[in-house]
Amino acid sequence: MISPSTADELNEKQQQSVALNEDVNALILAGAGSGKTRVLTHRIHYLVSAKNFHVDDILAVTFTNKAANEMKERLSELLRRPIGRMWVGTFHSLSHRLLRTHPVEANLSPTFQILDAQDQFRIVKRLMKENGVDETKFPIKQVQWFINQQKDEGILPHQINAEHNYFVKQSAKIFDLYEKHCQANDLVDFAGLLVKSYDLLKNNQSLLDHYQKKFCHILVDEFQDTNLIQYQWIKLLHAQHNHIFCVGDDDQSIYGWRGARIENIQKIENDFKPIEIIKLEQNYRSTGNILSASNAVIANNQNRLEKSLWTKSGDGELINVFNARTETEEAQYIVSEVEDQFNQGRNLSECAILYRSNAQSRVFEESLINRNIAYRIYGGLRFFERAEIKDAMSYVRLIEDTSDNIAFERIVNFPTRGIGLTTVEKIRTYAIEHHSDLFQSSISILDTLPARASNSLKAFIDLIESIKDKTQHLSLSEKIDSILLQSNLMNHYSNDKTDKAGSKKENLEELVSAAKQYNHEEGSEINETQGFIALATLDSSGDSNQSNQDCVQLMTVHSAKGLEFPVVFLVGLEEDLFPSRQSKDEQKLDEERRLCYVGMTRAMNTLTLSYARKRFIHGQSFYSMPSRFLDEIPINYLNYIKNSNNGISTKSRKYDPSQYTKMASTDSSMYSIGQVVKHAKFGLGTVVNCEGSGDSMRLQIKFKKFGTKWLISSYANLEIV
């Protein structure tokens, strides 16, 4: 039984999920805002406190470091004790831990290096250049994406069947060269962490037996976002004597473009028999109208695990729909509504503008700037991805391990110290020929270089060795602080005239703070500095524009996943934009609809949907049709905003069937927003916009069966219902 205090926190279905028999597998279908994180943490607490499992018996997998850290903090509170080195983390961080624990068995050295996306890009670029692959025909990012896609599917270079596809053939060639380069230099990229840890367990039965026995319970969050290799990883760890507890929502599977497979959550029932399925449908975030409208949209997807969200919090406001003439008018209206919300006492940070594509942010930014309203773009470069931080961490990496070639190449001439490309190329050639790392090769070729080049290179070698000697007994934060000063990085960025706000210098100072706050796990396979380097490389929870200032939040719908806001504006709901032009087949259209569903369910109290009839795309003007997703929302949940001449009026007329009676008059002056009309061909519809007057009056009508159409009132022969 769960404790009375726990029972007070959980509803009936949540209690049922938490207190499931420990001998069964489970799939918890947790709808948006249904408290899945609460269920996960309480499930672990229940297993430890009520069923006497040790925290080391449990493996908990999340998709972000932020979620993992929050889970650890919450568990420490619930258990009233530190949870030590409990196996809680992302797929990547847990795989990294496995590989650090068993490097020899994984055919790695104990000091293997992790490649981030930028490091990987530079290697692919160099390999393409060295092998005469034209990057204008084979864009580097596309080749990089191809490599990672193959790894996510567990496909090796020799298993690729290019047939007559020249792009695949050339990309497979680079993939093969890239894998050999990584193997020769003891490098592992993000996707490789999963692949290598999977192979480690698959190819070592005694090791697999050990971890299958060790992890009595395996809990996985956001299961709908797993790709093939992640699914196989979990499946491999599962055995007859341990149990799976998966939490997810197929209606929120929106990452198909990066390898996530919605079918993973749909085939759990067969792959992990016997299994109990529990639906969490009570929502604690949104109002009834928002949930009903969202349910109506997502119900149009076929082959979904059916669920329907509900709430005890009441219907709330109707969902506003604004039809703008242009994207500029759309932005002006949305920003005026943000301003109204602020004047009514809301914080700007309670308002979020969500769009399908990053390019849509521009007009909203312009309008916000014109009105002097603070905003931030959510989801930009993460802290550890910023150039100045990567520069600093490259010094830390090279001082910790002089065989780190990636770090060497980044900082050998930064800040500028007179080491040219010719010298670097000579170092690289020597390293390849003598199977040596770049740092040792630099020492070896000093005598072969011209005096000026030799002196510059020797000064760099002496600098690294001097810093290494002076910092070896310092604490982590003291070490990084010393490196920043001795490397001249701090001085370089302090004098950076392009950085007028001084943010780069502040970021370097923040790096020292991050090192000071870093809690190295006791008993870890790696030392404190190596642990911090791994954190910097694996971190996936940060946001580039963290700010304490009260700001309007701008972001893509993808970036909004997992977040919530009292006021949400979901914009650009037009065909070929949302859903996107690339989403013509059923599978992609279903994912676009799930994306719309995710956007709508971010809203707590107020939701506004907007679209523009004319939009500039790539410098050209295009007329747009309203998104089919708007037509999928029952009209009784909607409040159409009357569009004034300047597009900023917020006066509207709510749809209420009871207020309309049948009228004989068909005078165009009688038409208004929200009226129900009948057309001889199209049937019943609702007036959602009016333009002009008299005989030339145009009506935009949303028909139940035929979608939205523009009609001239004097010719339409409409009957007012």
Phi-psi region of 647 (alpha: psi -120 to 50; beta: other; left: phi over 0): left
Q: Which of 6, 90, 226, 252 is catalytic?
A: 252
State yes or no: is 328 an active-site residue: no
Using CB atoms within 10 Å of the CB of residue 444, give its burial: 0 to 12 exposed, 13 to 18 middle, 19+ buried. Answer: middle
Other beta carbons within 10 angstroms of residue 658's beta carbon come to: 5
Q: Which of 279, 307, 376, 602 is catalytic?
A: 602
The secondary structure of the chain in percent helix, strand, coil, rounded to multiples of 5, reads: 50, 15, 35
State yes or no: is 252 an active-site residue: yes
Q: Which of 16, 37, 111, 666 is catalytic?
A: 37
Q: Please calculate the CA angle 259-61-298 and round it to the nearest 5 degrees.
A: 50
Q: In terms of DSSP H, where are the helices of 156-227? A: 166-184, 190-202, 205-214
Ranges assigned E (strand) in 589-706: 603-617, 620-623, 638-640, 676-679, 683-691, 698-703
Q: Please calculate the CA angle 232-25-597 and round it to the nearest 5 degrees.
A: 75
CA distances to 191, 199, 235, 253 from 264, in Å: 18, 20, 11, 10
Q: Which of 116, 221, 330, 590 is catalytic?
A: 221
With tokens 């037509």, the residue in question is 631
DSSP 557-582: HHHHTT--EEEEEE---BTBBTTBTT
Report how far residue 304's alpha carbon sits from residue 319's, in angstroms, rounded to the nearest whole number: 25
Q: In terms of DSSP H, where are the helices of 203-251? A: 205-214, 228-237
State yes or no: is 564 an active-site residue: no
Q: Do residues 659 and 672 lie in contact, with contact meaning Cβ atoms separated by under 8 Å?
A: no
Q: Which of 116, 222, 437, 591 is catalytic?
A: 222
Structure tokens at 421: 């490309």
Task: For residue 249, give the nearest of 269, 224, 231 by alpha carbon.
Answer: 224
State yes or no: is 222 an active-site residue: yes
Structure tokens at 701: 């009508």
Ranges assigned E (strand) in 487-562: 552-556
| Cβ burial 564-573 (10 Å sphere, 16+ → b, else e) | bbbbbbbbbb
Give the three-state DSSP class for 457: helix
With tokens 């009784």, the residue in question is 636
Q: Which of 36, 307, 390, 594 is catalytic?
A: 36
Q: Do residues 58 and 76 lie in contact, with contact meaning Cβ atoms separated by under 8 Å?
A: no
Give the three-state DSSP class for 9: helix
Give the three-state DSSP class for 73: helix
Task: For residue 642, give the nearest of 632, 650, 633 by alpha carbon.
Answer: 650
DSSP 280: E
Report how far residue 217's alpha carbon sits from residue 52's, in angstroms, rounded to the nearest whole number: 12
As annotated, the active-site residues are 36-37, 221-222, 252, 602
